[in-house]
Chains A and B, each alone.
Chain A
Amino acid sequence: MSAPAVQFHHDADRLATDLRHRELVHTALSKYEVKRDEMKARFQDWQGARALAAATKRKAISQLDRHLEQLARGLEARGTKVHWASNGRQACAIIVGIIKARNARLVVKSKAMTAEEIHLNEALEHAGFEVVETDLGEFIVQLRGEAPYHIVFPAMHLVRGEIRDTFATKLHDAPSDNPEELTMVARRVLRQKYVEADVGITGANFAVAETGMVSVTENEGNARLTAALPKTMITLLGIEKIVPRLEDLALFLPMLATVGAGQLISGYNTMYGGPRQPGEADGPEEFHVVLLDNNRTALLADAEQREALHCIRCGACLNVCPIFRNVGGHTYGTTYPGPIGGVITPHLRGLQDWKHLSYASSLCGACTEACPVKIDLHHHLLQNRRNSAAAKPSWWQKTAFKFFVPVANRRGLWKLVTRGGRLGQRLHPLIKGSRLDPAYCWTKTRELPPVAKQTFKEWWRQRK
């Protein structure tokens, strides 16, 4: 087992039996579920919207080269500097370089999963800058030194008391555990940061090829402030974020909010096409857009799973995933947890190290049903399993399945298995549930079904 797999098993075993955690996730998502369904119902045709969104993304990705060039041209025409990064190291170096050249010290940052993916904060801190996450949830997990728990709800795993304690130790300001008061503490602290910061970094949810814009979705206004006050603005995004036309946002913005957060539309959806233009009152003097590959082209090259690049990171597949709900976000040990993480992480970070995420699914398909862009998530998990087994089969599983072939196919052997089963069943109680039990992984928590006195086929032959 790879180190990440060992870690996953270890954490999953712990959290799956943690009833408090299970309850916490359940409570956190139950309100969302009601609102999500209510908003979906407002669409005249939700399934039609999914089909349209999928078709639009398919178009965007199938001409990705052309769309990226178009995007860059449009941005550059308004004075934006467009940077291209093949991997995370390059992207970090580009961003560190921009900040260094401006003699900047303080960086404010709005939520960007892509930045998590390339460990941008570590790189910036290593280079000596102060980086402040401004999204409330991200701010909280940053104070705690944790990774976001969920791609949309970063602090979903925390209750108010824990957040109060974090504020008390880190900010020395925690009047109570009232969510409103805690939020106002963060507001006070962060307001000063926006005004003082030299550089603002944002992620982006979409990039409009046609008009050369990036689109940022948020509820708090922190990204708006990040993009308004500092002199330099940097937006980091994956190359797959493309939509072809500006009007496509009319579809994607409400869909993202609906399944992502149970809102009809998010509080702020903002399109940025350049630095401050002549005649505009304010805004950054410089705007840098960093386009990140980081193995997205490897996923693109897998035609069968290419559509995983349609993902709009709404988190809907996490929310419905019974595995995510039982093991939580941190257990995955990846930037992107849940079903989409199980599909793309093996592509982004290596199949053999991360294949366990593709196996950690009952293939129930709830994710596929929830996905607003109709990514065939659970079937892609199957394909990852197939690819990993073909590239590096586990000898014991291969042997077991090989052994099973004649058993399943030959009556004589099947009879033997039946008899063996009946006999084994009588002896089984001696070792059941102990480490000696070959069926331990089942019998630790479950009983085996008894082998019938007469199998169906025995009955059938007798009857004939």
Chain B
Amino acid sequence: MVEATEMKAANHDTNSPAGEQRASERANILARVREALSVAAPADHGEAAAASSIPAVLPAVGATFEDHVALFQKNAVELRAEFKVVNDASDLVAELKRLAAEAGWRQVATHRGELTDAVCPALGLPTVTAKSGADKRELERCDAGITECDALVAQTGSVVVTSRSAGGRALSVLPPHHVVLARREALVAGLPDAFALLRVRYAANYPSMISFITGPSRTGDIERILVLGAHGPKRLTVLLLATPP
């Protein structure tokens, strides 16, 4: 029903019946594409011959866990994200409490997850849990969003979250401070490793959103001067748990 109304509106200026046009535009476009491609393009500029692999051209990443921690740290700091390695779950709680006290959090948001469940209640703050039907206005009023992640990428200082592993879409971008809890094995060397990890974890059924977050929200749109917190979080804190909980 919705569909029919929509297509009628979409085609108010044409005579062809609604659904038909959609189908035919698809066919038209694909036909034009095929027709165009029937003439081969001239030879390339020698790229195919020169091509190596993606990992071999991207920035170097080092070999050991320590290298990767150091590289992530360097990239994160450069991008004004905060990064800390903590030993165990109790250190994690202590660190969160320190952040809460320092910034005066009154209300936080999080999602159900092994790590978040293990530490968030200990904060003793009113907590909004991202779940189906949660109020976005409520989420907007929280001082921090605490999420898990799928990966940390040393090469770029990025945090990888998905709509399945990090409490949906808004939690990691709506509250003004995003706190990421990461397990040791989440730290990967490079972007190709992160995509490989996603493939292993989700290939059968990808979440509706995968986001590579690098640093707090930023803009340079006014005179190319860097300002943090353009729309999303002004602060991004990444806490890496060195041992399993």
Task: Assess the A136–B222 pair: CB atoms within 8 A.
Answer: yes
Q: Is A274 an interface residue (CB 8 A)?
A: yes
The answer for the CA separation of A128 and B204 in the assembled complex, in Å, is 42
Best-surrounded residue of A54, A98, A183, A251 (most CB of chain B within 10 A) = A183
Q: Is A163 an interface residue (CB 8 A)?
A: yes
Distance in Å: Cβ of B70 to nearest Cβ of chain A: 15
Given contacts A48-B52, A101-B9, A225-B232, contact A277 B57 (CB under 8 A): no
Q: Which of B13, B34, B210, B231 contacts A134 (CB 8 A)?
A: B231
The answer for the CA separation of A280 and B199 in the assembled complex, in Å, is 19
Name the A residues within 8 Å of B8 (CB-CB).
97
Task: Assess the B190–A250 pair: CB atoms within 8 A.
Answer: yes
Task: Assess the A303–B9 pair: CB atoms within 8 A.
Answer: no
Task: Assess the A267–B222 pair: CB atoms within 8 A.
Answer: no
Q: Is A253 an interface residue (CB 8 A)?
A: yes
The answer for the CA separation of A256 and B156 in the assembled complex, in Å, is 13
Q: Which residues in window 51-110 of A have CB below 8 A to B?
A: 51-52, 54-55, 58, 62-65, 68-69, 72, 78, 83-86, 89-90, 93-94, 96-98, 100-101
The answer for the CA separation of A301 and B132 in the assembled complex, in Å, is 47
Task: Assess the B47–A221 pair: CB atoms within 8 A.
Answer: no
Task: Assess the A183–B210 pair: CB atoms within 8 A.
Answer: no
Q: Is A376 an interface residue (CB 8 A)?
A: yes
Q: Which of B89-97, B114-122, B134-142, B237-245 contacts A (4 or more CB under 8 A)?
A: B134-142
The answer for the CA separation of A227 and B8 in the assembled complex, in Å, is 25
Name the B residues within 8 Å of A136 (CB-CB).
219, 221-222, 230
Q: Which residues in window 164-201 of A have CB below 8 A to B?
A: 179-180, 182-184, 186-187, 190-191, 194-195
The answer for the CA separation of A179 and B217 in the assembled complex, in Å, is 15
The answer for the CA separation of A253 and B191 in the assembled complex, in Å, is 9
Task: Assess the A64–B41 pair: CB atoms within 8 A.
Answer: no
Task: Assess the A97–B51 pair: CB atoms within 8 A.
Answer: no
Name the B residues within 8 Å of A142 (CB-CB).
none
Name the B residues within 8 Å of A90 (CB-CB).
25
Given contacts A225-B170, A250-B190, A264-B156, contact A187 B231 (CB under 8 A): yes
Q: Is A46 an interface residue (CB 8 A)?
A: yes
Q: Is B56 an interface residue (CB 8 A)?
A: yes
Name the B residues within 8 Å of A97 (CB-CB).
6-12
Task: Assess the A280–B5 pair: CB atoms within 8 A.
Answer: no
Task: Assess the A249–B195 pair: CB atoms within 8 A.
Answer: yes
Name the A residues within 8 Å of B60 (CB-CB).
44
Q: Which chain B residue has the least Cβ–Cβ distance from A247?
A: B195
Q: Which of B100-108, B161-169, B179-187 contacts A (4 or more CB under 8 A)?
A: B161-169
Name the A residues within 8 Å of B218 (CB-CB).
219-220, 267
Given contacts A97-B10, A101-B9, contact A282 B169 (CB under 8 A): yes
User: A196-236: contact bitstring with B at CB < 8 Å (1 yes, 0 no)?
Assistant: 00000000000000010100000111101101110000000
Task: Assess the B221–A155 pair: CB atoms within 8 A.
Answer: yes
Task: Assess the A219–B230 pair: CB atoms within 8 A.
Answer: yes
Task: Tell me if A's interface is mostly helix, strand, loop or mixed.
Answer: helix
Task: Assess the A267–B5 pair: CB atoms within 8 A.
Answer: no
Task: Assess the A247–B54 pair: CB atoms within 8 A.
Answer: yes
The answer for the CA separation of A134 and B231 in the assembled complex, in Å, is 9
Task: Assess the A83–B2 pair: CB atoms within 8 A.
Answer: no
Distance in Å: Cβ of A232 to nearest Cβ of chain B: 11
The answer for the CA separation of A376 and B231 in the assembled complex, in Å, is 37
Distance in Å: Cβ of A201 to nearest Cβ of chain B: 15
Q: Is A281 an interface residue (CB 8 A)?
A: yes
Given contacts A250-B192, A254-B58, contact A84 B219 (CB under 8 A): no
Name the B residues within 8 Å of A140 (CB-CB).
221-222
Task: Assess the A222–B57 pair: CB atoms within 8 A.
Answer: no
A-B pair number, CB within 8 angstroms: 335
Task: Assess the A254–B130 pair: CB atoms within 8 A.
Answer: no
Task: Assess the B164–A52 pair: CB atoms within 8 A.
Answer: no
Name the A residues within 8 Å of B45 (CB-CB).
54, 374, 376
Name the A residues within 8 Å of B136 (CB-CB).
195, 229, 282
Name the A residues within 8 Å of B46 (CB-CB).
51
Q: Is A341 an interface residue (CB 8 A)?
A: no
Task: Assess the A280–B51 pair: CB atoms within 8 A.
Answer: no
Task: Assess the B163–A283 pair: CB atoms within 8 A.
Answer: yes
Q: Which chain B residue has the least Cβ–Cβ distance from A270?
A: B211
Task: Assess the A297–B47 pair: CB atoms within 8 A.
Answer: no
Task: Assess the B57–A297 pair: CB atoms within 8 A.
Answer: no
Q: Is B39 an interface residue (CB 8 A)?
A: yes
Name the B residues within 8 Å of A94 (CB-CB).
10
Q: Which chain B residue has the least Cβ–Cβ distance from A181?
A: B227
User: B180-214: contact bitstring with A at CB < 8 Å (1 yes, 0 no)?
Assistant: 00000000001110111011000000111111111
The answer for the CA separation of A250 and B157 in the assembled complex, in Å, is 14
Q: Which chain B residue has the least Cβ–Cβ distance from A216?
A: B211
Name the B residues within 8 Å of A83 (CB-CB).
22
Given contacts A52-B47, A84-B26, A93-B10, contact A306 B208 (CB under 8 A): no
Given contacts A54-B44, A191-B231, A283-B208, contact A183 B222 (CB under 8 A): yes
Q: Is A43 an interface residue (CB 8 A)?
A: yes
Name the A residues within 8 Å of B224 (CB-CB).
28, 31-32, 153, 156
Task: Assess the A221–B30 pair: CB atoms within 8 A.
Answer: no
Q: Is B59 an interface residue (CB 8 A)?
A: yes
Task: Assess the B219–A220 pair: CB atoms within 8 A.
Answer: yes
Name the A residues within 8 Å of B75 (CB-CB).
264
The answer for the CA separation of A52 and B49 in the assembled complex, in Å, is 10
Name the B residues within 8 Å of A183 (CB-CB).
219, 221-222, 227, 229-230
Name the B residues within 8 Å of A153 (CB-CB).
220-221, 224
Q: Which residues in window 3-35 of B have CB below 8 A to A?
A: 5-13, 22, 25-26, 28-30, 32-35
Would you list the 3 A-B pairs with minimal beta carbon distance, nearest first? Answer: A221-B232, A97-B10, A281-B168
Q: Assuming A43-B59, A276-B208, A304-B42, what are 14 further A-B pairs, CB within 8 angstroms?
A: A42-B59, A65-B37, A187-B231, A225-B232, A248-B54, A250-B195, A265-B191, A267-B217, A268-B213, A280-B169, A283-B209, A297-B29, A303-B41, A374-B47
